[in-house]
Amino acid sequence: MTAVGPATEPYGTELSIETAGLSKRFGRQLAVDGVDLAVPKGSVFGFLGPNGSGKTTTIRLMLGLAAASSGSVRLLGQEMPGQLREVLPRVGALVEGPAFYPFLSGAANLHRFDAADPHVPAATRKARVQSALERVGLTHAADKKVRAYSLGMKQRLGIANALLAPRELLVLDEPTNGLDPQGTREVRSLVRSLAADGATVFVSSHLLAEVEQICTHAAIMSAGRLVAQGTLAELRQGGQARIRVLTPDTGAAADVLARLGLSAAVDGPGAGETPGRASLSAGPGRTESNSDGGVLYAPLPGAAGDGAVAPEAVVAALVAAGVRVRGFATEQVSLEDRFVALTGEGFDVVQ
């Protein structure tokens, strides 16, 4: 996992977003506390954290929508907010939900927003609006008044507004909020296509499954502080892998693991469950019934250094001790596990 330090350290590549010591205080409350973000150009970057962790405030500071108490921000290589007029035409954003004129149609709203942008030609406005509506799947509702739009449709219209002109950086705050599964898949595909076209996409979200499916990098916020950032693989590697043993001989297996220096926890017979109906983890949020005995979990030390234990050595020791091993697996830490370990808080996970 990448350590949190100066924003230019983690990647050694060109950055679309770079913050250093970014802080925001509201009276006595420090809402954003010394955040050093490094968002590589061309990445799909997930910005994670529970409600109230400072994600939206950080985004507002990045875009010049709020003044920082201290620290600095660079967007697309330019200082903010000093170069705001030069930078913002290259940035599309959807922050804190879309706001539109309810008595105008979706298309009319986009025409008005586009007309307010002095950097785009009026001659191609109609074509740009049509293209943006097509990209978010709202062509059929272009002439419907926004007051009749569902929350998901308004969310799509907000994304369409961010796409009215070619953007080098897209900042999307909870882009799948209110969307049905089909709409969520469409936004997911849209984000991938934007990245494929060369844009950097910065996605703030509390839906872990969405981030894992579309993002290449991520950062985790907790109580206003940035606690981790890196590629998804780096974030997962920051946690400890574990072994899972399925056996009817849970007591004997636990003794063997203890002799190997592994601290086992039992899930199944011996852990308050009905014998013969052990709960076997099948991924986040899922369990399976199993009649082959209990399940033991134990953290597995790394592959190198003192205390390292190879999985095959664990199996050999169990078999040598006469433990009936009916299932064995190594499990890598999930992004959800890392989030809970870093923040101590739960997370909304969509399957």
If you average pLDDT over residues 73-81, what whole number do you get? 93
pLDDT band at 256 (very low <50, low <70, confident <90, very high): very high
Q: Specify the range with the lowest mean pLDDT, choosing from 225-239, 278-292, 301-315.
A: 278-292
In Å, what is the CA distance from 45 to each residue of 126, 204, 268? 31, 8, 39
Whether 224 and 31 have beta carbons less than 8 Å apart is answered as: yes
If you average pLDDT over residues 294-315, what whole number do you get? 76
In whole angstroms, what separates CA 62 from the centre of its chain?
18
Please determine, for residue 285, whether its predicted confidence score (pLDDT) is greater than 50: no
**Domain ranges within the chain, ordered by starting residue:** 15-237, 242-332
Please determine, for residue 17, whether its predicted confidence score (pLDDT) is greater than 90: yes
If you average pLDDT over residues 310-327, what whole number do you get? 92
Alpha-carbon distance of 43 to 169, in angstroms, equals: 10
Closest CA to 205 of 188, 181, 183, 230: 188
Please determine, for residue 163, whether its predicted confidence score (pLDDT) is greater than 50: yes
Residue 206 confidence (pLDDT): 77
3-state secondary structure of 21: strand
Task: Indicate the residue type of 103.
Answer: F
Residues 6+ positions from 246 with CB-CB distance below 8 Å: 278, 280, 290, 292, 293, 294, 295, 325, 326, 327, 328
Whether 98 and 155 have beta carbons less than 8 Å apart is answered as: yes
Residues 6+ positions from 322 with CB-CB distance below 8 Å: 249, 252
- pLDDT > 70 in the chain, percent: 80
Q: Specify the range with the lowest mean pLDDT, choosing from 26-35, 90-99, 296-305, 323-332.
A: 296-305
Residue bearing tokens 């004997």 = 252
Per-position b or e across 73-82, b if 16+ CB within 10 A of its CB? bbbbeeebbe
Which CATH number fits the domain 15-237, given the four candidates 3.40.190.10, 3.40.50.300, 3.30.420.40, 3.40.50.720? 3.40.50.300
Please determine, for residue 297, whether its predicted confidence score (pLDDT) is greater than 90: no
Residue 58 confidence (pLDDT): 95
pLDDT band at 292 (very low <50, low <70, confident <90, very high): low
